[in-house]
Amino acid sequence: MSTFVIPAFVAVLVGCGLAVLAFVPFVAISYRRRGGLTFWHTLVWLAAAVYAMALWTYTLLPMPSAAEVTCAAVQLRPFQFVADILSFDTGSARALMTNPAVLQVVLNVVLFVPLGWFVRQLAGRGIIVATMTGLAASALIEFTQITGIWGLYSCAYRVFDVDDLMMNTFGAILGSLASLLLLRRQKGLEETDAPRPITVTRRLTGILCDLLIWGLFGWTVSIIYMFFMTVLGGGTVTEPEPIVTFIGFALPFAAQLFSVLSRGVTLGERLVLISAVQVRRPAEANRMLRFLFGIGGCMLLSQWTFPLSGLLLFALVAVSAVMVFTTRRHRGLACVVSGIEIDDVRATAAAVPVSTNE
């Protein structure tokens, strides 16, 4: 059971982790190329991330210890699977359904069917690209196996089989063909330049992007520092210095401050194409208010250690969350306090008259 459960668990865990890391650029690209974000499109991309990890985990895991490695054979004869199937009982449908060689071929085909489907659904490419992608992905996996994970082991611990290349590629072709029947055309997102309403989902997506920019940047700086210090220190793990932690906090803080003071909106709001269309005078002072009652205040309170900082942070987040649902155009607490109105960037651009020289 662990042969299937462990790779599945690792694939879901790592795939979701990759999806979180890629969420901010995914949002930015979706709003600019497709005009917005839909649940279906997001779900498909999440499934693609988990599936990409599943390809690796199911073909490479579990990894044996170096002392337990048994060198595997190399199978270079095309269609050897036919002889393998005939070497077992094939006298009835039941026998074929339980034939180990048949099951191996079916699993190799089924494993790559989603790849062909994703190629058409996400990249908009047809059978030729799906075929080449399936062949390339399968070859990468097979050569990773035959080289003992590129030299990590002294020899291959899984069989290199040319039939696997063929069946994997065939699975990608089937997936591409099946996608023709199941392809869902996204309605309402064809005109990417058309203004769209400010919804709760859109506001929450922008807020989530702000939080990820803040958290992931600091985490990335710390991880990079620990990696290099571990390498230079001969394998000894080193905790980040205070200056490293400060840099991880200060750079996204400064970027958010500049964005709010110059445009009236946060980085996350800019990613989802939200703009400030009206700022109460004096504009600079009210933009600073917006920053302090929004992402800036949350970042500062998270760093301060005075007795009420945690309570104030919780209150700020809770009130802001409630007001996103209850205020006009879902402006939230920071916009209400600062007197800032928000709208779709495309609506703002369309409202600006274009000057012409006669």
Instruction: Check: CB of residue 34 under 8 Å from CB of residue 273.
Output: no
Say which range, 201-205, 212-216, 238-242, 298-302, has the weakest mean pLDDT: 238-242
For the chain, the 3-state helix, strand and coil shares in percent, each to the nearest 5, are: 70, 5, 25
Average model confidence (pLDDT) across the chain: 85
pLDDT in tens, 84-113: 898 888 888 888 888 889 999 999 999 999
Task: Give yes or no for residue 78 having a pLDDT over 50.
Answer: yes
Nearest to 293 by CA among 324, 327, 338: 338
Nearest to 198 by CA among 5, 321, 343: 343
| Position 233 confidence tier, pLDDT thresholds 50, 70, 90 | low
Coil/strand/helix, residue 218: helix
CA-to-CA dists, residue 97 to 34, 104, 299, angstroms: 44, 11, 59
Task: Give yes or no for residue 358 having a pLDDT over 50.
Answer: no
The predicted pLDDT at position 281 comes to 84
> What is the rounded CA–CA span in Å between residue 92 and residue 101?
15
Which of 61-70, 229-238, 340-349 is predicted most confidently? 340-349
111 Cβ contact list (under 8 Å, min separation 6): 55, 58, 168, 171
The predicted pLDDT at position 236 comes to 66
The predicted pLDDT at position 356 comes to 39
CA-to-CA dists, residue 172 to 48, 117, 132, 256, angstroms: 14, 7, 9, 44
Map tokens 């044996």 to a residue: 64
Instruction: Check: CB of residue 175 under 8 Å from CB of residue 137.
Output: no
Task: Give yes or no for residue 322 having a pLDDT over 90.
Answer: yes
| Position 183 confidence tier, pLDDT thresholds 50, 70, 90 | low
Domain residue ranges of the chain, discontinuous segments joined by +: 1-62, 68-191, 200-351
Instruction: Check: CB of residue 211 under 8 Å from CB of residue 22.
Output: no
By percentage, how much of the chain surpasses pLDDT 70? 91
Q: Tell me, what DSSP letter sits at residue 278?
A: E
The residues facing 161 across adjacent strands are 75
Nearest to 41 by CA among 187, 143, 166: 187
The predicted pLDDT at position 354 comes to 41
- How many C-beta neighbours within 10 Å does residue 328 have? 10
The predicted pLDDT at position 25 comes to 92
Task: Give yes or no for residue 5 having a pLDDT over 60.
Answer: yes
pLDDT in tens, 14-70: 888 888 888 999 999 889 888 888 888 888 888 998 898 888 887 777 777 777 777
Coil/strand/helix, residue 9: helix
